[in-house]
Amino acid sequence: MLLTGQDNEKAIIRELMKTLGSERSELIPILLAVQDEFGYVSEFSMQFIADQLKMSANEVYGVATFFHFINKKPKGKFIIRLSRDMSSIMKGAKSVARQLRNDLGIRMGETTPDGMFTLEWTSCIGMNYQAPAMMVNNEVFSNLTPPKVHRIIEDCRQELYAHRPTVGNVGETHASTLSYASHEPNAALNRLVQQRMSPADVSGELTVSGLKGRGGAGFPTGVKWNLASKAEGDVKYIICNADEGEPGTFKDRIILGKYADLVFEGMTLAAYAVGATEGIVYLRYEYTHLRPHLETILAARRKANLLGENILGKPGFCFDIRIHMGAGAYVCGEETALIESLEGRRGEPRNRPPYPVEKGFLGRPTVVNNVETLATASCIVARGAKWFTSIGTERSKGFKLFSVSGDCARPGVYELPWGMTVQQLLELVDGQGAKAVQVGGYTGELVPASQFDRVMGYEDLGIGGSIIVYGQGREMLEVAENYLEFFIEESCGQCTGCRIGNTKLLDGVRLLQKGTCSNRYLNDLIGLSHSIKTTSKCGLGQASPNIFIAINEHFKEEIMARPVLAA
């Protein structure tokens, strides 16, 4: 029997679903697999997938259009995605973009007529210390210059990259010595078994250590594990949030590349503490190149009985981990949005309560911890809480990893005790004389030079891991424009303030850049900023105007130096 193109498409999708499953929670893996097969997900495929999953086509379309990396139309054989985070822009991404446009004869967002290349901007790809950087399909290229991208395009034309494994071309980073490097393999799990620690002993050790979530929210890890252990539910989940999307941060990528065993050990400890049997690593799409490496380590852990049934011979200690790929949405770094997308929905943050520890993935108790939190938890259980509390300050225990980029001579990943000042950090990374430092990523805080004596710690700057250094020559309105473009691109659109307000704020910033903004309008923009903060549901919208408010407060002369018009 002769199969039509659509029959063939159906047969392939059916085959894929045999492996991936036919639950709604498999929707995004199915969409990505269909894309791997056909290069994009056609409307016909969406309809067929909807039928198979007993969903409406509208719902499937709604999910597919939410994520940046699901192609709804055919794209080029080589999809070039150039990072436009601020560190990349500072290091020459615009001249790289110009070279790419000239070489390919297309603009951003277009595909060459021969179907070979698609050219796009993308958000941060976790390579800021080697900016500018881009992805060609799933392969990463960094430290780009116009001549270098010209050669990459020529190589693509000769198809040198067509069948290469996606190992990534990511190079090394400046880094302080990480405590993770001296962790004896599986020392925490061995201690748990040898010393017959109870689940409460494990979460208790973390509570005493004072470890707080390293993703930025800073919730005490031991308390979270304890709450999940007490929550009612036969099935519980541990999710590792590896959706490291905050512009400027890349430490989790380095941890997963070098110390994945520690992260998996941390997930296994969490499982023991809360009584979970299933773990999921939610890996951002931009880190697809890490997946084979992570799968190899998971397989080795299963073989060594560090995962699976009766782990290390302990009856009833059963736990395994699978990897779930994200599909490109910054807001999925927020834990409830992440869970929504795991369930096959648009990654829109949920109202809280209930919190995930009570009602998370599939309505069951779920612990969501960041990569660094889990790796650090392993070190703490292995060495004891006392070791950790001997580092840091009274209110900020232990150490923290920082991803440093921008105007400094030694960008990279640094493990530092809490309690250092911004100035001390700048001396370490050779960024003295900076004009300002963005601590905690785009959603963090802009610290001007007059405040470089501020302390990095929960008593002052309790922050996520991204540090971007701005040198004297940087125009702060350009920085604000870049941040707002990012937030507008990544807003899930649920809240009017976030969806519309940021667009209006960006319009205002552009008027200020041109010097055609009136004083009254400037005041209105400040009012708008505060109303965006109060009417937004999640951290994205709540933090999005911070940059504008900070520039108005600390760099007013840059606004006023341009001819702001009288009202």
Q: Which residues bind ligand SF4 (CB under 6 A)?
A: 331, 349, 491-495, 498-499, 536-538, 540-541
Q: What distance in Å separates the CA atoms of residue 465 and residue 447, rounded to the nearest whole number?
A: 15
* Residue the block writes with tokens 């890890």: 221
- Whichever of 236 and 537 has its CB closer to ligand SF4, that residue is 537
Q: How far is the CB of 542 from ligand SF4 (least distance, A)?
A: 7
Question: Residue 87's closest CA among 416, 536, 408, 415?
Answer: 408
Strand partners, 521: none
Q: Which residue is nearest to ligand SF4 (CB)?
A: 541
Q: How far is the CB of 504 from ligand SF4 (least distance, A)?
A: 14
Amino acid letter, residue 182: S
Q: What distance in Å separates the CA atoms of residue 416 and residue 405, rounded to the nearest whole number?
A: 16
Cα of first residue to Cα of last residue in the chain, in angstroms, is: 75
- CB of 166 within 8 A of CB of 188? no
- Whichever of 247 and 541 has its CB closer to ligand SF4, that residue is 541
- Whichever of 480 and 495 has its CB closer to ligand SF4, that residue is 495
Q: How far is the CB of 469 from ligand SF4 (least distance, A)?
A: 27
* Structure tokens that stand for 196 in this block: 């017959």
* Structure tokens that stand for 363 in this block: 């309505």
Q: How far is the CB of 88 from ligand SF4 (least distance, A)?
A: 23
Look at strands 445-448 and 174-175 and give their pairing. unpaired
Amino acid letter, residue 46: M
Q: Which residues contact 264 (CB under 8 A, 6 or more apart)?
A: 297, 298, 301, 306, 307, 321
Q: How far is the CB of 545 from ligand SF4 (least distance, A)?
A: 11
Burial annotation 525-559 (CB, 10 A radius, 16+ → b, else e): beebbeebbeebbbebbbbbbbbbbbbbebbeebb
Q: How far is the CB of 348 from ligand SF4 (least distance, A)?
A: 6
- Whichever of 80 and 498 has its CB closer to ligand SF4, that residue is 498
Q: How far is the CB of 127 from ligand SF4 (least distance, A)?
A: 24
Q: How crowded is residue 177: how many other Cβ atoms within 10 Å of its Cβ?
A: 9
- Whichever of 331 and 505 has its CB closer to ligand SF4, that residue is 331
Q: How far is the CB of 359 from ligand SF4 (least distance, A)?
A: 18
* Structure tokens that stand for 518 in this block: 């009136």
Rounded to 10 degrees, what is the CA torsion of 513, 519, 525, 528? Answer: -170
* Structure tokens that stand for 478 in this block: 């350009």
Q: How far is the CB of 337 from ligand SF4 (least distance, A)?
A: 8
- Whichever of 118 and 341 has its CB closer to ligand SF4, that residue is 341
- Whichever of 411 and 440 has its CB closer to ligand SF4, that residue is 440
DSSP E strands, 433-484: 436-439, 445-448, 466-470
Angle CA(212)–CA(218)–CA(224) in degrees, nearest 5? Answer: 60
Query: Residue 313: exposed, middle, or buried by beta-carbon count in 10 A (0-12, 13-18, 19+)?
Result: exposed
Q: What distance in Å separates the CA atoms of residue 13 and residue 49, rounded to the nearest whole number?
A: 8
| DSSP codes joined into one string, 208-226 | HHT-B-TTTT--BHHHHHH
- Whichever of 355 and 414 has its CB closer to ligand SF4, that residue is 355
Q: How far is the CB of 336 from ligand SF4 (least distance, A)?
A: 9
- CB of 267 within 8 A of CB of 236? no
- Whichever of 433 and 493 has its CB closer to ligand SF4, that residue is 493
Q: How far is the CB of 497 from ligand SF4 (least distance, A)?
A: 7
Q: How far is the CB of 32 from ligand SF4 (least distance, A)?
A: 22
- Whichever of 171 and 493 has its CB closer to ligand SF4, that residue is 493
Q: What distance in Å separates the CA atoms of residue 266 and residue 260, rounded to the nearest whole number?
A: 10
- Whichever of 42 and 535 has its CB closer to ligand SF4, that residue is 535
- Whichever of 222 and 441 has its CB closer to ligand SF4, that residue is 441
